[in-house]
Structure 1
Amino acid sequence: MFGLFKKKSKKEVLEKKYRKLLEESHRLSTVNRIESDKKMYEANQVLEEIEKL
């Protein structure tokens, strides 16, 4: 209950963004391979930021 208004850490925000990009990449993989690859590249960039933390 006391954690309701807790601000998320930068790592938590980046992990959420990473998961979202992977989901979008997977969804696009059956429709548009080029866009899927772009999302995967963005996800890898976010992963590198997470690893730096």
Structure 2
Amino acid sequence: MFGLFKKKTELEKLQDSYKELLEKAHKASQSNRTAGDKLMAEAEEVAKKIDALKSK
């Protein structure tokens, strides 16, 4: 109940984005390998941002 109005932190937003990009990349790689590779590259960029936030 108390978490109902809790806003997500930047780290939580990035983790959600990373997970979503990985799912999209997996689906795209089954039909279009190039699009899947681009999505994986975007996911890696998000992963780097996550690591940077965790290391602070």
Shared fold per TM-score greater than 0.5: yes
From the two aligned structures, give the one with the greater helix fraction.
2
Distance 2:50 2:33 in 1: 25
Q: Secondary structure at the match of 1:8?
A: coil
Aligned residues: 53
Distance 2:29 2:38 in 1: 11
Pairwise CA distance, 1:4: 0.4
Q: In the alignment, does 2:48 pair up with 1:52?
A: no
Sequence identity percentage: 49
Structure 1 runs of 4+ aligned residues shifted over 3 Å read none
Q: Given the two structures, how large is their TM-score scaled by the length of structure 2? A: 0.93
Q: After TM superposition, list the pairs within 5 Å mapping 1:1-53 onto structure 2.
A: 1-53=1-53
Q: Unmatched 5+ residue regions in structure 1?
A: none
- RMSD, aligned CA: 0.3
